[in-house]
Structures are given as structure tokens and as C-alpha cells.
């Protein structure tokens, strides 16, 4: 394994399948898109939209939506599916939470999504930084909802509690893929540990009657089977998840984990029906779906087309 999220040379591996027409990225650009990019640059803020090369960033920026990426743009882990590089991380920027809150105000957001790189070097994994960011968003933007997409904090329950006590509207932690594929894609993560985080979050929300929604997400096309995905949806439900996002994995470069197949839109629709049949409140499932896609609508139970 080299620095960054790279896998060993694939050698004579079979060529990847041809990308189908339904996976073409939407056009980027326009005055609002450029304004959002400019605001983010002026505030010296990272977004997962750009760091992870999200295919929806053109649509989201054009609608004044962005997912803020806290604590730098280098990760302490080396997940082989992710475009965010792993390596040496820098110190936290104590002013970052304030700038996020200010940028949310400039963008006029009614709902903000905040995530981070993994910071296993920090005693609390960055939980306090999340809490301060939630507080700043609320102070500067009364009535603005917040979703946080958090790491696993290495299973540390006090760190998780710091975020829960900040009471975001949505607590999101992605399972990412089926347990069999964790050694290949999430080398320092643990499927059971992630399920426990979801369950602890749901129990906390229920005990405090907070109304907080618990959410997770996965990607398809990395080598999973249909049966494994259905089993994962059941696990997510059993451990407290109410919202699940399902999208197509897109290989960031030839050195990352390869795409094994491109999943047909009809299969995404079928999985959404299965998930709802299992009792999940909301399943956002489609080739271009990512964790924060339609986040506000999910939190409020709204029709995304309205």
C-alpha cells in the first residue's frame, strides 16, 4: 500500500466495463455555480463535492447546496474507493466552524450538510469540532437544519455522544459496502463497529425524544451480490437506521478499487422497494445518488420534486 488511497498495481486485470449513458455527469458551470465556488474559496473551506469528485456537484452548486468537509483534505485512513488522499494530516483550524456558519449564511441555506475526513490522530476523532460547527451554523443561521456525516471515531462512545448532544437533525454514518468487502475497501473500518454506532445513535435519539433521524449509505458495483445488499439493508434497519442512500461506485482513478459492474437503474429501483418493504422510512436509490443527495427532503419527509 502506498500513501494515498491507492491499491496495488492491478496488473493484467480485466478492463473495466464501459460506462453506460445513464452515468454521464451533468453539465457544470453557470453564474450560481461559479458564485458558490468563489464563496468557498474565499472562506478557505473544503467540500466533499470537490474532494471526492462528486458527480452531482454541478447540480448541487447551481442550487446553492454544498457538503462541507471539515478538518482538512487529507485523511488518516486509506480507503481504496475514496478520492480523498490519505497521509499526514495538519492541525485543526479553530476558526473553521465559524467560517462554515458564515458561508451557510452567505449561501442562504435552509439545510446544511457537514462531513469530515477521518482524524484518528485526535483524542475525540474530531467530535468536538463537529459540535462546534453545528453550534456556529445554528447561531448564525437560526432555523437552519443540519446533517452530519461522521466517521466511526474508532468506536469511542464518549466521542459519539459529543456529536449527539449537539443534536443535528440527521446523524449519518455510512456503512459503504457489504461486510465481506471491508478488507478490500475499508481497511481500518469494522462493519460491526459501524452498526453499533448507528444503534447507539438511534437509542440516544429515542431516549432524548430528539426527533433526530439516523441515516446510512452504501455504494454498488464494487463486487457485492444482491443477497448481500438485501442483508445489509436488514442490518441497517435492525440497528436503527431510518434513511438509506444507495448509489453507483465510480472509480476515481485506475489505482483505486475497480468498478466490477454498472448497476442498471431498474435494480436500484428494486432495492428501494425492498428497503421500504423492510421498514426503512426513506431509501434514496439511483446510479447518481450520493450521501447528501436530497438531504433536506429526507430529513423532512418531502417529495424531492416539489
Interacting residues of 143 by C-beta distance below 8 A, sequence separation 6+? 110
Identify the pLDDT of residue 9: 42
Within 10 angstroms of residue 269's Cβ, the number of other Cβ atoms is: 13
**Which has the higher per-residue pLDDT, 56 or 31?**
31
Q: What is the pLDDT of residue 56?
A: 53
Of 54, 75, 82, 77, the C-alpha closest to 66 is 54
Give the per-residue pLDDT at 26.
60
Crossing angle for the helix pair 265-277 and 226-238, to the nearest 10 degrees:
30
Query: What are the residue boundaries of the structural domains of the chain, listed by start?
Result: 28-300
Q: Which of 190, 176, 270 is nearest to 232 (CA)?
A: 176
The C-alpha atoms of residue 263 and residue 191 are separated, in whole angstroms, by 23
Is residue 92 scored above 60 in pLDDT?
yes
Residue 41 has pLDDT above 80, yes or no: no
Rg (Cα) of the chain, in Å, rounded?
18
What are 113-145's pLDDT values in tens digits? 999 999 999 999 999 999 999 999 999 999 999
* For residues 277-298, average pLDDT: 86
pLDDT in tens, 142-188: 999 999 999 999 999 999 999 999 999 999 999 999 999 999 999 89
3-state secondary structure of 54: coil
Residue 285 has pLDDT above 90, yes or no: yes
Q: What is the pTM of this model?
A: 0.86
The residue assigned the cell 437506521 is: 241
Q: Give the Cα separation of 230 and 276 in Å (integer).
A: 11
Q: What does the pLDDT look like over 56-68, one tens digit per residue? A: 555 555 555 668 8
Residues with Cβ within 8 Å of 16's Cβ and at least 6 positions away in sequence, in order, are 251, 258, 259
Residue 52: is its pLDDT beyond 60? no
Q: What is the CATH number of domain 28-300?
A: 3.20.20.70
Task: Give the mean model confidence (pLDDT) for residues 7-22.
Answer: 61
- pLDDT tens sequence across 192-225: 999 999 999 999 999 999 999 999 999 999 999 9
Amino acid at each position: 500500500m502506498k500513501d494515498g488511497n491507492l491499491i496495488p498495481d492491478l496488473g493484467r486485470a480485466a478492463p473495466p466495463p464501459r460506462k453506460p449513458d445513464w452515468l454521464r455527469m451533468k453539465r457544470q458551470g453557470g453564474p450560481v455555480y461559479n458564485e458558490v465556488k468563489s464563496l468557498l474559496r474565499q472562506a478557505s473551506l473544503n467540500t466533499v463535492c470537490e474532494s471526492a469528485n462528486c458527480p452531482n456537484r454541478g447540480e448541487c452548486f447551481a442550487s446553492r447546496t454544498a457538503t462541507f468537509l471539515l478538518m482538512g483534505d487529507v485523511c488518516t485512513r486509506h480507503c481504496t474507493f475514496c478520492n480523498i488522499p490519505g497521509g499526514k494530516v495538519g492541525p485543526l483550524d479553530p476558526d473553521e466552524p465559524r467560517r462554515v456558519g458564515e458561508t451557510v449564511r452567505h449561501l442562504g441555506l435552509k439545510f446544511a450538510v457537514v462531513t469530515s475526513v477521518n482524524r484518528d490522530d485526535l483524542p475525540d476523532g474530531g467530535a468536538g469540532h463537529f459540535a462546534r460547527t453545528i453550534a456556529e451554523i445554528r447561531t448564525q443561521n437560526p432555523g437552519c437544519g443540519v446533517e452530519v456525516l461522521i466517521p466511526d471515531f474508532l468506536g469511542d462512545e464518549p466521542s459519539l455522544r459529543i456529536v449527539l448532544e449537539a443534536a443535528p437533525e440527521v446523524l449519518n454514518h455510512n456503512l459503504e459496502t457489504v461486510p465481506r468487502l471491508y478488507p478490500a475497501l475499508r481497511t481500518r473500518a469494522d462493519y460491526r463497529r459501524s452498526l453499533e454506532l448507528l444503534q447507539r445513535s438511534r437509542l440516544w435519539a429515542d431516549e432524548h425524544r430528539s426527533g433526530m433521524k439516523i441515516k446510512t449509505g452504501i455504494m454498488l458495483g464494487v463486487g457485492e451480490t444482491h443477497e448481500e445488499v438485501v442483508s445489509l439493508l436488514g442490518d441497517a434497519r435492525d440497528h436503527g437506521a431510518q434513511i438509506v442512500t444507495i448509489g453507483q461506485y465510480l472509480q476515481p482513478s485506475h489505482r483505486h478499487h475497480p468498478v466490477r459492474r454498472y448497476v442498471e437503474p431498474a435494480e436500484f429501483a428494486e432495492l428501494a422497494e425492498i428497503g421500504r418493504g423492510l421498514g426503512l422510512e426513506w431509501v434514496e436509490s439511483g446510479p447518481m445518488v450520493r450521501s447528501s443527495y436530497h438531504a433536506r427532503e429526507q430529513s423532512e419527509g418531502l417529495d424531492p420534486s416539489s
